[in-house]
Structure 1
Amino acid sequence: MLNFTTEQIVFQEVPDEVSLAYTISGCPLGCKGCHSADSWQRQSGKSLTRDYFYQRLKTYQGLISCVLFLGGEWQADKLLSLLKLAKSQKLHTCLYSGLDNIPVQLKAELTYLKTGRWNAELGGLDSPITNQRFFDLRTGECLNYRFVRT
């Protein structure tokens, strides 16, 4: 079962998109300095069932353009089902992963993908020296420049 610790509407995590974002609990990486360390326990939060997710998509229909999952790739089959449901509702999909590679079946259902572990010395997507990468998978373009402050 996928659990989530936060559900919110976000405007900055995916360029040009209004996203319904879920922080998925159970991250196995445990990056030092993680802003979501409270979500590391696998059973913390609320269950993200297919029915609940579908109702949330209907609630925000016409108001959101994307669904963002902050994690969840460690339960690929469960996440895959939700990605397909979001796409069936004509929404873009995004995954923020701390991994450099994710399962091919997940990648096939994504519009956007952020990869790379959090490293405080290198910073996040707004840092020009970050190890993290944010891709538009439709074009393969790295969109990190959209986050860097000048």
Structure 2
Amino acid sequence: MNYYDFQVVFQEVPGEISLCFSICGCPLKCDGCHSPYLWKEFNGDTLTNERFLELLQQYENLATCVLFMGGEWHEEQLVNMLKLARQKCYKTCLYTGQDQVSKTILDELNWVKIGKWDPNLGGLNSEKTNQKFIEIKSNTIKNNLFIKN
């Protein structure tokens, strides 16, 4: 599983400082995608367990969540990374353009963002979006956290 970049982000998971990994090989190829370079599976670098754990250690006591932008198409590797993050006391989130995710992946998540990007409907900060930000434990949609009043 390759990742194109790694960033520390503040808005994607409300209330959390997240270590964000953009995973390569996205099969969806959504119209208007802001990251078409993620369509190519072998872009970026291999996300090894060693590199992943190194980053988790580096940001220990600073970040609270690990966020994967995609990667569900590498289910076994993604689940392994999510388990490693949880063992290190990080919360976990997945952003996917799919409308559903396997139970195996969901079992390792605190949150999931589902739904294909539609430029006519907007993202999570749009009241008409088709996307859903779901808290797994309560199975509730938390899009309201992204809407500015």
Q: TM-score range by the shorter chain?
A: over 0.9
Unaligned runs of 5+ in 2: none
The equivalent of 2:24 in structure 1 is 25
State the shift of 1:149 in Å: 2.2
- Residue 72 of structure 2 is matched in structure 1 by 73
The residue aligned with 2:52 is 53
Quote how far apart the aligned CAs of 1:141 are: 1.7
User: How far apart, in 2, do the equivalents of 1:6 and 1:121 lie?
Assistant: 27
Shift of 1:9: 0.2
Partner of 1:129: 128
User: 1 CA distance for matches of 2:141 and 2:14?
Assistant: 12
| Partner Cα distance (2:132, 2:68) in 1 | 16
Question: Normalising to structure 2: TM-score of the pair?
Answer: 0.98
- The CA distance in 1 between the partners of 2:117 and 2:44, in whole Å, is 22
User: Which residue identity is paired with 2:126?
Assistant: S
TM-score, normalisation: structure 1:
0.98
Deviations 1:98-125 (A, max 9, x none): 0011111000000000000000000000
RMSD (CA atoms): 0.6
Aligned-residue offset at 1:148: 1.3
Specify the code of the residue in structure 1 equivalent to 2:13. Answer: V
* Cα distance in 1 between the residues matched to 2:138 and 2:26: 28
Q: Distance in 1 between matches of 2:16 and 2:118?
A: 26
- Alpha-carbon separation, structure 1, partners of 2:35 and 2:125: 18
- Count of residue pairs brought into register by the alignment: 149
CA distance in 2, matches of 1:70, 1:149: 23
Gap regions ≥5 residues in structure 1: none
Report 1:1-150 matches (<5 A): 2-150=1-149
Q: Aligned partners of 1:6 and 1:34: how far apart in 2?
A: 16
CA distance in 2, matches of 1:36, 1:147: 21
How many Å separate the matches in 2 of 1:39 and 1:131? 22
Q: Deviations over 1:115-145 (max 9, x none)?
A: 0000000000000000000011121121101
Deviation track 1:50-70 (CA, whole Å, cap 9, x = no partner) reads: 110001000000000000000
